[in-house]
Structure 1
């Protein structure tokens, strides 16, 4: 591993490319560019390097890194569509980014999700480990080899073991008419750093918070050019410059924040923040789209051991830790695997198709994920009882919100320490009405799963929300959806690609170059113009692979 570098020494280096954000996308780009020994890459990451923390690395401890030092701990403004509630918005503040906070889920959206904005390099980033015939038979771990990569830096693997509910999941969904997809990677629905950390041309500075991008006029005074960044480390402010490009990979919350702090954005937002406008780019921070979800909690068979048991029993947790460390097996090796993507299950489907989808297209709109444990932030477990949780997640929201820097205060202009104003506009406007209708109907679809064989053999009473009449298809879930919907932690779109309409419709072009600024690109989930029917981690990796390829192509021209 490379020797840590000081902030002052970092600034003395001559960088061809500066990458703001050492997260999922940033480290991919850094690794690919630095494969060329003639290219020197600098990466600035606000959080620490934490390579060995079990909170991040042990699969069965998913979720424990939330609301820790690895989390920026953002939150939304009050949401009228959620009866005035604010929601936490976790974002990663660590080398590896939000990938260090997530559930290690690796899946892809439908082919149609990507057709409008180009095909990502999925296979290039992946090294798929095929499950054994025994694993395939026991856990129905199906795959089609031709749709998987073999030589990429990210190892993807089916969980070595699956929880008890997963053993019944496929058969139960089949019994209610949801077919098993035997080729779900086909387009139907820190790994990049450590192996390369010894490269002399790849320099990473952690715990360095970027304040703004340095933009200067060209010699003719006609064009803004990104020349470097200003950052803070150890309480001191520094400026580091680049010979070619600044690559902004700070994520869907902080990439638009840094553009606005640098004077690129909507004039009304920039000026209200007390910052000099440099580029009138009205879509910076707009087009925010986010998966949203609800959590219904059920009592389950008391013999089933889950993460709640480990949190309550230190000796049980110690035994599970030993099993994982010695053989990478047991409950610490298990991830939530009981999930399915289904079409929106509402009676007014034709109306929704007319508003949201092309007639005749088969758009999976709801993700249902069930596993052991109480995952609801609103339901308090009763001692002595065991629980399982069904997460029901809206995949293609019509609702669009925004993320912007706040107005200036009495202390002066807005800065990086002022948290951005996150307003997803959940269930707002006409599109929000459709989203709400689908989410209410989704609860009616998901709830009867638990009285369907064979899953019903381990499921008892629904604990949250309390059933007025258990498994009643006409039960009204409207209040539940309004009062308990939360974020699914998948924001995209705030620096979206503009397509043929250019800056009037987006923030970056098809090569991810920021409109109105030379030498500045955005490479992260914020560039996605439309959401996908999938957890976005694998897609972000492939966006970065494609971006690195384009950067190298442009360099050769």
Structure 2
């Protein structure tokens, strides 16, 4: 198991004046902090993390334990407000409250979106954020370990090693062990006309492929952001269990400047000073919350929470986009081993642990890796796509430039991964309980370019000012309004393709016994299927956009500029998933590291130019 980075105490931390203070020791924060510290030994770099340090935590380290930490002691325990588009349901929104952040809790998938996704960011006026501008930073974050020839041959693990990085802190690899259903995946998707993509991180994710994971194959343990700073540089100081109450923003000669951070640790409040910059890397939920608590945001939102306005920034917390997901369950061949067996059988569990401890192989290394990204034009008729295109034309939820990009993806010519399908054995649904004695398989379908757009804001208060202890109001507006109804229609069409084509095609069809959720009767009835989608849609936990890059629209279209500097405040940046102006077609972990690498590079450039 890996060792944890060294931390300091609050009194020592607050007695220093730092060159750079990073709020959030998570996926992006530790990457930024480590790069700043190593760039110049004269820089003093501080990190404040609300969670603690874990060491030798099997639920984090062991790949096969993915998902166990969600909802546990390392989670912020956030949830959405009731979603009208989901029948009034609230959804849990797991986020990591631990050094390493959500990179310590996620499912370890490591992939990139297509070139077009990042070029769309640049097309909005965010210079340098297209594919060519961000690709070097993807590579800088990772060390790719090629699979053995045996794994490549047995499991159809085709890849292009040249598209990966070779010397970054995050170790990425293909598993050595696979779910029994994986051998059926490529042939089934090929049979429905979806080709295998051997270069799935090289600029297009369209096709079927086996995904890479953030796992160090030498030890078969999770690789996450603490690997950037273990051991930490001497000039990097990490304080845990520190809740940031606000960025101290002062008026200096008519210009607002970030001069420090007010935080609480072990019941005592502190203020720590900064001489160069504060960098918010608290994620898509906490970064907008901290900006608003600091007086930076929509004046109406701040007034309702009794927070004095310093900078009127209308889109703080707006532009929230997330991936919507459905888990369709099938009864499968009862002889197939799956992850559920380990939960029920102590002997199997003990044998798996022994094998993992002995040679870092076996069931505890198996991850969900059977992925496919499919353009809607692959299975929707021209007439259906034309109808969706017309509906998108009438929507006003995004500004004109963003809407044009999203609408064009429905014109029938987009070769983009608009829906992701992922299959694995076991029951992944939080709602379907199953029957004893039966085994199940799960097909996930995940909408990549949602029109549903929502917000995250500090909570309104009556007779006091909002505080960091108040959970923010998370309202993704899943399937909300006319734009959300478009997402619901796309999800229904994608569910039809899943039911009528993918699972009816050999060899995958050979292991499927019957539909379980939705039932056969639900599948056959349009209204019942629509209601099932409403009652079963969940999140894939990929929120972005709440401090988005404004591009040509500036502060009216976003929160930060193309160098991630917060509009209206000197010495303050945001570097995390919240800066993405549009959602991407990918699991977002690798992109967050690339944003962190590029953000750190720009901060270092600006610091050297200022000398």
Output the TM-score relative to the length of structure 2: 0.88
What are the within-5 Å matches in structure 2 for residues 7-156 of structure 1? 7-35=10-38, 36-117=40-121, 118=129, 119=131, 120=134, 121-156=137-172
C-alpha deviation, 1:131, in angstroms:
1.1
Query: Aligned to 2:388, which of 352, 372, 375?
Result: 352
Cα pair 2:306 2:461 within 8 Å, conserved: yes
- The residue that corresponds to 1:466 in the other structure is 519
Report 1:118-517 matches (<5 A): 118=129, 119=131, 120=134, 121-189=137-205, 190-193=224-227, 195-218=229-252, 220=253, 222-344=254-376, 345-347=379-381, 348-353=384-389, 355=392, 356-358=407-409, 359=411, 360-410=413-463, 412-448=464-500, 449-468=502-521, 477-517=529-569
Q: Is the 8 A contact 1:357 1:363 kept in 2?
A: no
Q: Secondary structure of the equivalent of 1:518?
A: coil
Q: Deviations over 1:463-486 (max 9, x none)?
A: 11111187x697962111111101
When residues 2 and 60 of structure 1 are mapped into structure 2, their CA distance, relative to the original with a 3 A threshold, is closer
Shift in CA distance, 71/161, structure 1 to aligned 2, threshold 3 Å: same
Residues 327/370 of structure 1: CA separation in 2 closer, same or farther (3 Å cut): same
Aligned residues: 553
C-alpha distance in structure 2 between counterparts of 1:327 and 1:539, whole Å:
32
Write the deviation string for residues 420-452 of structure 1: whole angstroms up to 9, x where unpaired. 001111112222121111001111111232221
CA distance in 1, matches of 2:538, 2:225: 30
Which residue does the alignment assign to 1:6?
Answer: 9
Q: What is the Cα deviation at residue 413 of structure 1?
A: 1.2
Paired residues of 1:492 and 1:526 also in contact (CA < 8 A): yes
For residues 580 and 311 of structure 2, what CA distance do their matches in structure 1 show? 21
CA contact (8 A) 2:187 2:507 kept: yes
Q: In the TM superposition, what whole-angstrom CA distance separates every residue of 1:8-45 from its partner, at most 9, and x where no partner exists?
A: 11112231100000000001101111112111111111
SS in structure 1 at match of 2:30? helix
Go from structure 1 to structure 2 and tell me whether the alpha carbon gap of 1:353 and 1:122 turns closer, same or farther (over 3 Å shift): farther
Say if 1:3 and 1:480 are closer, same or farther in 2 by CA, change over 3 A. closer
RMSD between aligned residues: 1.6
Q: In structure 1, what is the equivalent of residue 400 of structure 2?
A: none
Q: Which consecutive unaligned segments of at least 5 residues does structure 1 have?
A: none
Separation in 2, partners of 1:72, 1:192: 19
Report Cα offsets for 1:55-86 as digits up to 9, x if no partner.
Answer: 11111111111000111111111111111111
Asked if the contact 1:444/1:473 (under 8 Å) is kept, the reply is no
**Are 1:17 and 1:243, in contact at CA under 8 Å, matched by a contact in 2?**
yes
Q: Normalising to structure 1: TM-score of the pair?
A: 0.96
Q: Report the Cα offset of residue 501 of structure 1.
A: 1.3
Mean alpha-carbon deviation: is it higher for 414-423 or for 139-148? 139-148
Alpha-carbon distance in structure 1 between the residues aligned to 2:200 and 2:600: 27
Deviation at 1:3, TM superposition (A): 4.6
